[in-house]
Structure 1
């Protein structure tokens, strides 16, 4: 408890005002401290405590030096948890203590006719396109880091393209005992896990709609002390969208198809299975003209699941985020882009520059009733438990207590379990799932 009191005192002190400012030589130092308390009742995921709570502490420190077109950037992340019990779901999604997630050099080049090229090399975070495949996760206590090169082009006509060749950072330590004691170990990267590809978009490609194309290849193989499913996945995607604006309708449709091969298990002699998987997201909304800028939208997400027949059909979201579309991670972490079919409705509002909020409802079905539901690990291989997982109600409120310096955030989820989550053989006992988190983030 002493460390938590010190953390809260530090966050309060940082909120009093900036500790660093940019100097005349182009050096800028900034950071954040986020303290989160989260709790869950009637955990829907298999294998964990039915009721649980956890304290997350995340501290970041970013230093950037810029001279002319060249930038040098380094960012330190320190992600820890406290108060866990033996059955608490704690992994490298929550813990990555004292890690240099970013350390890169970048340069800007003018190509004439208004075109610009940015190159960076080293360790960095990435947010590509819709962030459904490659993202720097923000709600989660740890983030995704990548080591390699990135080229981003901006050209006339609203054309933006980004290409990457990176080695995703594998968070260490990854053994449960070390993770639970917040042990420090430098993350690894290597050619046993490679991601390359890119995204290109053009504004007003179809009337007012932006069009986007993407392709990513993920190659994964076993390494000493690390067995894998030996994934070799090609993911092809396309998206059209019109951004929300007051008094106008907006739309987003994105689809991915995944091919390649994957091992049936992590065993060295496991059979290789051909992959055929897919995902689609669609939403249409309208933002009303008014002081609160309320937006109402209808949504649908479907990610394929696996079935018998010699092909692997479960969609792999790679390094994508989940909070913006589906639900929080953390202790909940039950709903992601895998074996799910979910229509939904969402209402968003921005009452002031300091306050924003949303609430959503999703009906949850399994895309394949014999595969495990989404990211719960709950499965009925016979399919006799049906295909309805439940009703999910999700809400978030964010309030700048002190503008740009101290922000409060509250998240809540209610999952009224359906037949599948009540009757599947390994479904945890308990009725309605309740999840909530309280967050306080200080920025300096």
Structure 2
């Protein structure tokens, strides 16, 4: 009841704040005196948002030292307000993400609960015809979220209950042909609360700007180099250091990669590929006693090809392969770091589930997608799971066998998803399930839980306004 009362109070506070903003915006636009004289146009205020309710549960836990069965109910509210003076814009967004019923020994973490948080607050200004006709250059400063490419390394992914955000600046250049180049310099923001009690109690605690960490880089994309094929590239730099009361792995990483894509279309083959290398230095742990900086030699590859059949339901059948390096006997540190990326699009549901991701992974698979109608879409996928290095932790499971005696086979993951628009652009329902048939590694590694195969399911209801 305490969490419910807090939710009600926070929503009333959000509504009150928005009314104040609305009143201020209208107060700035004064009626013209008679006879009318030219007056500068007042700002246009727009408000939009969403409320998502989710129920999910897992049984047959794959993580060590966590409850075998967990049920979790979450409520995520987003309200965004924008004051638009044409090329000058002020944008703010509030996030209220709460969870209930998970228990004290669950896998729920700070990325699942973040109450009454100003997720975005930034100013942007757009210039036109900077280099060529109909191009634009937009400068953004403040707190914001980001998404690049297929979301594997930097993402604002909708499946999660919260989103990574950053404080800093960003410059975006776009041409008439939709080619683009983005430069950014930021401090990542640490989500709070991050203690088990604070998360369980839905404690209201403002996030912390991580001034000890700098994240910056460039991301570019050519929209069409021929045959509707887009090509992009990026370089990201992450540099972190310890500060009082906050220990890090002192990662100093440079990640550079290339991607290409031909979007799905009826009666057409589509392709997607992305590869990245990671270099720099890092420590194995964030322990105070760990002072050894190791050279980093890591990377990942994603390859996917599909075909869309121009028949009823327009089914698309695709095959894919993922590789992400793990840390082995080599003196260099070899485990790939997926930075601030998302996992849902490629690797299955996250939140209580999410065993698979871009770390110590070898995984081929197939996926089938279909749209029986404009308001209904279906998806199913199956993938095999192996370790790139048998002595490292497998993906995001926290299961490890340092001797390598448990082999490389982690199992097979199957997932399905059904989405239905109940009221177009307003109300949507989604249900999904995933099954992890554990292989030898996830059943015989020294710290693997003896809990049988993992079963996960969820149901969402999303209202947009």
The reply to whether TM is greater than 0.5 is: yes
**TM-score, normalising length from structure 1?**
0.94
Deviations 1:124-157 (A, max 9, x none): 1101122111111321111111111111111245
CA distance in 1, matches of 2:324, 2:438: 20
2:104–2:197 CA contact under 8 A, matched in 1: no
Match of 1:196 in 2: 216
- The residue correspondences of 1:14-413 to structure 2 (distance < 5 A) are 25-110=43-128, 111=130, 112-205=132-225, 207-269=227-289, 270-413=291-434
Structure 1 residue ranges without an equivalent (≥5): 12-18
Larger C-alpha radius of gyration, 1 or 2? 2
* Offset at residue 349 of structure 1 (A): 1.1
Are 2:457 and 1:439 equivalent residues in the alignment? no
Deviations 1:357-381 (A, max 9, x none): 2100000001111101100000111
Deviations 1:37-65 (A, max 9, x none): 10111011122111111111111111011
CA distance in 2, matches of 1:322, 1:227: 26
SS of the residue 1:179 aligns to: helix
2:103–2:200 CA contact under 8 A, matched in 1: no
Match for 1:423 among 420, 424, 444? 444
| Matched residues, number | 436
CA distance in 1, matches of 2:59, 2:271: 36
SS of the residue 2:198 aligns to: helix
CA distance in 2, matches of 1:51, 1:174: 22
Deviations 1:88-113 (A, max 9, x none): 11211111111001000111110142
Structure 2 residue ranges without an equivalent (≥5): 12-18, 27-41
* Offset at residue 5 of structure 1 (A): 11
**TM-score, normalising length from structure 2?**
0.90
2:217–2:234 CA contact under 8 A, matched in 1: yes
Match of 1:14 in 2: none
SS of the residue 2:225 aligns to: strand
Alpha-carbon spacing, 1:327–1:307, altered in 2? closer, same or farther (3 Å): same
CA distance in 2, matches of 1:319, 1:150: 16
- Which deviates further from its counterpart, 406-415 or 109-118? 109-118
SS of the residue 1:178 aligns to: helix
Structure with the greater relative contact order (CA < 8 A, sep ≥ 6): 1 or 2? 1
Match of 2:35 in 1: none
- Which deviates further from its counterpart, 33-42 or 199-208? 199-208
Which 4+ runs in 1 deviate beyond 2 A? 1-8, 21-25, 203-208
SS of the residue 1:422 aligns to: helix
* Offset at residue 82 of structure 1 (A): 0.4
